[in-house]
Amino acid sequence: MIDQLFGSKTRVKLLHLFMNNPNRSFYVREITRKIDEQINSVRRELSNMLSIGIISSDTAENKLYYEVNQNYPHYQALRSIFTNAPQEEIGVVSEDSDMTKRVRALGSVDLAILTGGFSRDSTAGVDILIVGDINKTKLNNFIGELEKEESREILYTTMGLNEFQYRRDVKDRFINNVLSAKKTILIDNGLLGE
């Protein structure tokens, strides 16, 4: 039904992808893999969405990247249609998202942040930060799967809750860089609101 409302199955899949990853940029071939659609229809819909202003584009490393335009006048309305949690804070992913579920399965996770290559912000120095009591075997399997999906090496850091709190309190440069970088928050059990 929603396909009929928006006129295109590809457009609906793109809106789902972009609205559920508000601080994440994607290049065309990556998008076609993620939504399992033909490259020509993806390019056509990206062009339409770009002309309307729903998404923006930027070139980096000889690739054209697309991401949702959070300043689009109807961004919040579209986000409420295409995500399960319409009142989410910008940059926070739904608890029901696939990535959030995969990270939660790693153990007792207090904080999980995607940044670096996921947000095209190299100032963080890492792609994923996970705070909590993590099962190392599950973590290694997860990172291996993610590297295959992303076709690149994933830089990640894990630490316990006490270490994170200490490093944040002493204004550790690494933690400050991660927290000030462009990021998507997968999980936050009150650590960032303190």
Domains of the chain from N-terminus onward = 2-82 (1.10.10.10), 98-188 (3.30.460)
Lowest mean pLDDT among 4-8, 32-36, 63-67, 136-140: 4-8
User: For position 100, what pLDDT does the model report?
Assistant: 86
User: For position 4, what pLDDT does the model report?
Assistant: 57
Q: What's the rounded Cα separation, in Å, for the pair 39 and 3?
A: 18
* pLDDT reading at 94 higher than 70: no
Lowest mean pLDDT among 23-27, 76-80, 89-93, 97-101: 89-93
Q: What is the mean pLDDT of the chain?
A: 85
What is the pTM assigned to this prediction? 0.61
User: For position 88, what pLDDT does the model report?
Assistant: 40
Burial 60-96, CB ≥16 within 10 A → b, else e: eeeeebbbbbeebeebeebbebbbeeeebeebbbbee
- Label residue 86 by pLDDT band (50, 70, 90): very low
Kindly report, residue by residue over 122-166, the tens digit of the pLDDT. 788 899 999 999 999 999 999 999 898 888 899 999 999 999 999
Q: What's the rounded Cα separation, in Å, for the pair 33 and 63?
A: 16
HSE at residue 84, side-chain half, CA atoms within 13 A, is 6
- Label residue 80 by pLDDT band (50, 70, 90): confident
Q: Any idea what DSSP says for residue 121?
A: B
Q: Are 150 and 117 in contact (CB under 8 A)?
A: yes
Would you tell me how many other CB atoms lie within 10 Å of the CB of residue 163?
13
Q: What average pLDDT does this structure show over 28-36?
A: 89
Q: Are 187 and 100 in contact (CB under 8 A)?
A: yes
* pLDDT reading at 37 higher than 50: yes
What percentage of the chain exceeds 70 in pLDDT?
89
HSE at residue 39, side-chain half, CA atoms within 13 A, is 4
Q: What average pLDDT does this structure show over 165-170?
A: 93
User: For position 32, what pLDDT does the model report?
Assistant: 92
Q: Give strand pairing partners of 130.
A: 112, 158
User: For position 89, what pLDDT does the model report?
Assistant: 43
User: For position 63, what pLDDT does the model report?
Assistant: 83
